[in-house]
Amino acid sequence: MDFKDYYATLGVAKTATDKEIKQAYRKLARKHHPDLNPGNKAAEAKFKEINEANEVLGDPEKRKKYDELGSNWRMYEQQAASGGHPFGGASPGQSTYRTMTPEEMEELFGDRTPFSDFFNTFFGGEGFSRASGARGASRTRRRAGRDVENEIELTLEDAYRGTTRRLLREQDGEVKHRDVRIPAGVTDGSRMRISGEGEQGAGGGQAGDLYLRVRLSPHPVFERKERDLYVKAPVPLTTAVLGGEVQVPTLSGKPATLRIPPLTQNGVLLRLKGYGMPVNGKADQAGDLYARVHVLLPTRLSDEERKHFEELKQLGGGDSKAHSAA
């Protein structure tokens, strides 16, 4: 069994502070992450070593035990070669190591899956019996893995149509993936459960679940309020006065026709029923789309147009009548 020098793995001194260890780990993890090195087995192996080193050095209690046991690793090898138990009785003149009880192992390491043989030997693994702590053919206690929660960011289009996202994770030294279907109509803050994609179980125990918490990113055109959508609808002045039709965008990608009644005022909300967000699990239900009228005033006038506006002004332009009626 080769000694695992976790300090050398992270490239830090034995006197490194917790902050220095954390910084070194993050830097190396980003460099060797399997997502950034697809198909690179060497990077996968290095990423595993980095995580193993951080598993120990990043925990003050584990680091303390590693420092104590690591300094006597050659004695361990001598005892192992002679058939002795590294944590059992020692020969005269040699140090004696106390057997770690299963309760101590559970308190120290929880149900995290061990990595290398060195990690298993010094910190407990499948070779330890819950009853006696002795190495042999006994098995680790069966325990289910913990649930994990992560955030997933979606666009409004993703939530409207539904989408598929690929999840990547390292398991048994290999990078595995799973395609997850995001249904149409998910709301901001909703949680999705992905069975069996949480933390691995111990001793053959069932893996935990992964919960994805949805966060919808802001949209440049649409505003969402629960199931309804809001959009600005530019309307020419003549159409606002005389009535007519304009085209407004929808999340489906196909514009919808909005009817503008005569004398429609600026800022008025007009509803397009059923053009809002779909309801998750109910294909025949959807919210509404509200178009806020934005009357477009002309930026320049021809001589003839100015003449007509002057004539309209002489007639009162309809404004005085509207105000007096109000």
CATH number for the domain spanning 69: value is: 1.10.287.110
Domain annotation covers residue 142: no
One domain for residues 118 and 185: no
Separation in Å, CA 22 to CA 9, 70, 261: 13, 21, 64
Last residue of a domain, one of 188, 216, 244: 216
Are 156 and 251 in contact by the 8 Å Cβ rule? The answer is yes
- Model confidence at 97, pLDDT cuts 50, 70, 90, reads very low
For residue 278, how far is the Cα from the chain centroid? 23
- Give the pLDDT confidence score for residue 121 in this predicted structure: 56
Query: CB count, 10 Å around CB of 241?
Result: 17
Same-domain status, 152 and 100: no
325 — pLDDT class (breaks 50, 70, 90): very low
Does residue 134 belong to any structural domain of this protein? no
Q: State pTM to two decimals.
A: 0.49
pLDDT in tens, 56-96: 888 888 888 777 765 454 454 455 454 444 444 444 333 33
pLDDT confidence band for 119 (50 / 70 / 90): low
Is residue 286 pLDDT above 80, yes or no?
Answer: yes
**What is the end-to-end Cα distance of the chain in Å, rounded?**
93
SS3 letters across 276-324? CCEECCEEEEECCEEEEEEEECCCCCCHHHHHHHHHHHHCCCCHHHHHH
Sheet holding 269-272, edge to edge: 223-225, 228-236, 289-296, 269-272
CB 191 within 8 A of CB 213: yes
Instruction: Please report which confidence band the pLDDT of residue 30 belongs to, taking 50, 70 and 90 as the band edges.
Output: confident
What is residue 130's predicted lDDT score, i.e. its pLDDT?
A: 38
Instruction: Evaluate whether residue 236 is within a structural domain.
Output: yes
Rounded Cα distance between 128 and 114, Å, is 12
What pLDDT digit, counting tens, does each position of 151-172 carry? 888 999 999 999 998 887 776 6
Q: Are residues 291 and 313 in the same domain?
A: yes
Q: With respect to residue 133, please indicate whether it lies within any of the assigned structural domains.
A: no
State how far the Cα of 116 lies from the Cα of 122, in Å rounded to an integer: 10
Q: Rounded to an integer, what distance in angstroms lies between the CA atom of residue 142 and that of residue 233?
A: 61
pLDDT averaged over the chain? 77
| 3 confidence band (pLDDT: 50, 70, 90) | low
Predicted pLDDT of residue 105: 44
166 falls within a domain = yes
* Cα dihedral 236, 239, 244, 250 in deg (nearest 10): 20
Three-state secondary structure call for residue 151: strand
pLDDT value of position 322: 47
Q: Is the pLDDT of residue 55 over 50?
A: yes
| Count of domains for the chain | 3
Residues 6+ apart with CB under 8 A from 167: 177, 178, 179, 180, 194, 197, 210
- Least confident interval from 53-67, 121-135, 191-205: 121-135
One domain for residues 23 and 91: yes
Q: Are residues 228 and 186 in the same domain?
A: no
The per-residue pLDDT for 312 is 84
| Enclosing domain of residue 165 | 148-216
Q: What tens digit of pLDDT does each residue of 221-277 get?
A: 999 998 999 999 999 999 999 999 999 999 988 999 999 999 999 999 999 999 999
